Structure 1
Amino acid sequence: MNPGMSSDLREIFHRGQLTIGISELSRMTGVSPRQLRYWQKKGYIIPKNEDEPGRARIYTLKMVIKAAAMSNLLQTGYTLKAAAAQVDERMRPAQTMYHVLFDRYQGFEVADDGQIIVDLGTFDPDPTQELYAMLVDERPKFILKPKK
């Protein structure tokens, strides 16, 4: 395994370390900072540091995606409330996949042949086994190995 890379990826993606400020979010989405603050007041977007009053707002990748998607829907005629609800519903499958992958991700190793093998941790139905995944012909293949 490559534990350094494992913890780096988990920290960046799972802990919400990829962040941007309100000005960058405004530029990326075409939504004014004033409008973004209104969306925040309504509870549609939430800055990562909302519990730190007086500090500049910073947004996670999840909120960037949500704000961009809401902006696109508003341009097609949705109301703000309907756009937020639609985006939340559309993001549910992606959030599930995100948690399945990043909550399970333990790291990876590179096999002698260069194949990347992803460690997905203990196999829940049988805690004596570890679950691994790899791509074979661009398709995922899962492997169980006895726990070390």
Structure 2
Amino acid sequence: MKSKKIMHDIFQNLEIGIGEVSKLTGVSQRQLRYWETKGYIKPISDDQSGVRRYNLATLYLIVFIKEQLDEGFTLSAAFEHSKDIRLKSRIVHQFFRETFDDVKVTDSTKGYGEIDLGEFQAEDGSMHHFKGVVDEKGQYVKMDG
């Protein structure tokens, strides 16, 4: 899918200056530079004029860390929590990478649908069909069969 690659390239290559990042997130430029010295964030460019630029992935990380700080976590704890979230996100992304073809929209006005997760065999040998569902009851899994 060409659009998927384009969006990935935009996500990785779009550069946002430190001033704009500071304005968007409420994290001062001084704090951002401090986070860099601690190794929590890394600019994608720091040209000879000293202008730092960040990609969208780093912007998301900055927002996450700021949110954790606002909730009372220390900077190091916020960063450690971000590593856990990023790992879980990669696992979920990998799991669902090809499943968009297996999503059935059941109510487009309310955003309800089902994700077909396929068949599996239970310990007793019986076959079941497994689906993830989002509907008026919330989000849950269901088995048919």
Q: TM-score, normalising length from structure 1?
A: 0.60
| 1:8 lines up with 2:6 in the alignment | yes
Q: Which protein, 1 or 2, shows the higher relative CO under an 8 Å CA cutoff with sep ≥ 6? A: 1
Q: Which amino acid aligns with 1:48?
A: I
| 1:136 lines up with 2:104 in the alignment | yes
Q: Which amino acid aligns with 1:21?
A: G
Q: 2:54 & 2:91 partners in 1: Cα distance?
A: 20
Q: 2:62 & 2:31 partners in 1: Cα distance?
A: 11
Alpha-carbon distance change, 88 to 141 in structure 1, aligned in 2, over 3 angstroms: same
Q: How many residues end up aligned between the 2 structures?
A: 111
Deviation beyond 4 Å, 4+ runs, structure 1: 52-55
Cα distance, 1:63 vs structure 2 = 1.1
Q: Which amino acid aligns with 1:140?
A: I
Alignment of 1:71-86 (within 5 A): 71-86=66-81
C-alpha contact 1:29 1:68 (8 A) present in aligned 2: yes
Higher-Rg member (1/2): 2
Alpha-carbon distance change, 28 to 135 in structure 1, aligned in 2, over 3 angstroms: same
2:19 match: 23
Q: 1:56 & 1:66 partners in 2: Cα distance?
A: 19
Alpha-carbon distance change, 48 to 95 in structure 1, aligned in 2, over 3 angstroms: farther
The alignment-based identity, stated in percent, is 31
* 1:55-88, Cα deviation, whole Å (9 max, x unpaired): 5211122211111111122122221111111122
Consecutive unaligned residues of structure 1, counting only runs of 5 or more, are 105-119, 121-130, 144-148
Report the 3-state secondary structure (helix = DSSP H, G, I; strand = E; otherwise coil) of the residue aligned with 2:73: coil
Q: 2:82 & 2:91 partners in 1: Cα distance?
A: 14
